[in-house]
Structure 1
Amino acid sequence: MAGDSKKVQPIIIKRIKKGGHAAHGGAWKIAYADFVTAMMAFFLLMWLLGSTTEGDKKGIEDYFNSPLKIAFFGGTGAGDATSLVKGGGNNLSESVGQVKKGKSETAEQKARKKAIRAAAAAAEAERLRVLKQKVQEVIANDGRLAQYQNQIQLDLTAEGLRIQIVDNQSRPMFDSGDALVKGYMRDILRAIGGVLTEVPNKLTIEGHTDAKPFSAGDRGYSNWELSADRANASRRELMAGGLDGNKVLRVQGLAASMLYERKDPESPLNRRISIIVMNREAEDRVFQSAEAEAVDRTEEESDEKSEQVSLKN
């Protein structure tokens, strides 16, 4: 019937009941721990690679590529001397690692540097020898200076080329007890200054006197002051001859502490001016000594300031 077909269909409501997740174990913790361990190992490996030198890396590579070759024929390897922990030699007393049949790189570098220094020293010695000949030629060819050749002595020492102008009883360089340069001495110093301006080496100028004391003794104006004044007067004459003042490294008065004629302390030969054209080794010693003194002085000043601060506190 028509009325029956239009009956309302029953409404069915479907309700889904949600249940909780199924319980599971701690397997994820193990996986996470493995991941963290792997990351730590990775970063440790990267740190080791970053702190390893190229020589050590090459040695490790060579060792794993051909370990028997290094063992029998030698070569750089994992136990090379560049490693922090030495090893790989024939016995515990060796410290050169697996370099069994050849010199280590460090030894070769030292030998190379030594050879370079030796070559530089030889070249400098030759330059100073040529300078010595040139000074001798200048004095011999100058009519004013040729007559004073016996008072000008040149020799090569451990410090460099030493030019000494010694006194003569008949031709003194200075008046007794005075630092005023005599005329002929002025000519000699200016001629030498013109020659020395061509060399790059630093100079030391030394004043020497005989052992005859002043009447005032060492507590007044003595041979120490006189020798220093004469050395400084000689420096001014060298500069008047063309020498660059920046080349003078030291001017010192030595009085009678280094006698030329030890058997005759009052000999005129002990009264002299020494001009030393310093070699590189002598220059380095002076600079190193000055640097050491500067460091010591800085440390002393720092200690004094610390003591003052502690006393205030």
Structure 2
Amino acid sequence: MSRKRRRQKKHHLEPESQERWLVTYSDLITLLLVFFIVLYSMSQIQNEKFNALMDSLRTVFQGDAILSETSMTPTSQNNDLSSMPIKEDDSDHDKNKEKNEEKLDKLYLKLQDYIKENRLGNEIKLTNLQRGVQLTFRERILFDLGEARIKQQAFPILEKVGGILKTVPNEISIEGHTDNNQFRGTSKYASNWELSGTRSRTVMLFLINHDKLHPERLHFVGYGEYKPVAKNDTKAHQAMNRRVNIIVLR
């Protein structure tokens, strides 16, 4: 009798035990589905978070725990964002550039008014160039022929111009030029280069000493005869080439 009951009990248990693998299989399918969904949603995640996710998933499959909450907390996200490089905004640069252009426009108008009021149009030429605002001084207003000492009557002009130049912080290039006449042995300057460089240096030092322009804003160049504005075929054209340019650079 007891054997018969055991057979009946065994008969009732066998179908149930045969279906248990379906539970395990369904759990495995569910975990795999979650795994691929998380992978898809985290496709843009950084490597550190991805590694943390993989470690947590390994823990899940080992039966120890589910995903660690600390791997995806807001704090860790903020830390990751703070470590990411921030693209520099060019808006501030554009604003500064616009302000600088406005200052140069005002500078140009001030210099233009000064030249007109003092009837210096034949001696000083004002030009608005791509590289900056340029003042061109003809030789005769600043220097005697072949000399690099500034004339006494030019002092007030350079002082006034220097005062206007102080209204902007831009760098200033002072550039000397000559004609193509060669120096004789009696000249104190060995070449046109030396004369043009000495003249531009003299103007630079005047602006520093008399107008208190900051030296770091200034530099001087001597081009000699090699950047003429006209052919050296007449005395009038040679006089045009003998000049000093003061350029407020953009």
The TM tier, using the shorter chain, reads 0.5 to 0.7
Q: Please state how far the C-alpha of 1:211 moved relative to its aligned partner.
A: 1.4
Q: Please state how far the C-alpha of 1:262 moved relative to its aligned partner.
A: 4.1
Q: Please state how far the C-alpha of 1:178 moved relative to its aligned partner.
A: 0.8
Pair 64,211 (structure 1): closer, same or farther in 2 beyond 3 Å: farther
Unpaired runs of 5+ in structure 1? 1-62, 71-75, 81-104, 280-313
Q: For 1:237-248, what aligned pairs fall within 5 Å after superposition?
A: 237-248=206-217
Aligned match of 1:185? 154
Deviation string, structure 1 residues 199-242 (Cα, Å, up to 9, x no partner)? 2222111111111111249xx61111111111122123323442
1:130 is aligned, of 106, 121, 129, to 106
Distance 1:212 1:158 in 2: 31
Q: Please state how far the C-alpha of 1:258 moved relative to its aligned partner.
A: 1.2
Secondary structure of the residue aligned to 2:170 is coil
Pair 275,269 (structure 1): closer, same or farther in 2 beyond 3 Å: same
Deviation string, structure 1 residues 79-117 (Cα, Å, up to 9, x no partner)? 89xxxxxxxxxxxxxxxxxxxxxxxx98x936x32x443
Aligned match of 2:240? 269
Secondary structure of the residue aligned to 1:150 is coil
Q: For 1:68-87, what aligned pairs fall within 5 Å after superposition?
A: 77-78=44-45
Q: Please state how far the C-alpha of 1:198 moved relative to its aligned partner.
A: 2.5
Aligned match of 1:205? 174
1:148 is aligned, of 98, 120, 142, to 120
Q: Please state how far the C-alpha of 1:121 moved relative to its aligned partner.
A: 2.2
Aligned match of 2:131? 159
Q: Which amino acid aligns with 2:40?
A: P
Secondary structure of the residue aligned to 1:258 is coil
Q: Please state how far the C-alpha of 1:137 moved relative to its aligned partner.
A: 2.1
Q: Please state how far the C-alpha of 1:245 moved relative to its aligned partner.
A: 3.9
1:229 is aligned, of 172, 180, 198, to 198
More RCO (CA 8 Å, sep 6+): 2
Distance 1:185 1:253 in 2: 20
Aligned match of 1:31? none
Aligned identity (percent) is 27
Pair 64,137 (structure 1): closer, same or farther in 2 beyond 3 Å: farther
What is the number of residues matched between the two proteins? 176
Secondary structure of the residue aligned to 2:87 is helix
Q: Please state how far the C-alpha of 1:119 moved relative to its aligned partner.
A: 3.2
Aligned match of 1:117? 93
Please provide the CA RMSD for this pair.
3.3
Unpaired runs of 5+ in structure 2? 1-35, 48-83
* TM-score, structure 1 normalization: 0.48
Higher helix proportion = 2
**Partners of 1:201 and 1:247 within 8 A in 2:** no
Pair 231,64 (structure 1): closer, same or farther in 2 beyond 3 Å: farther
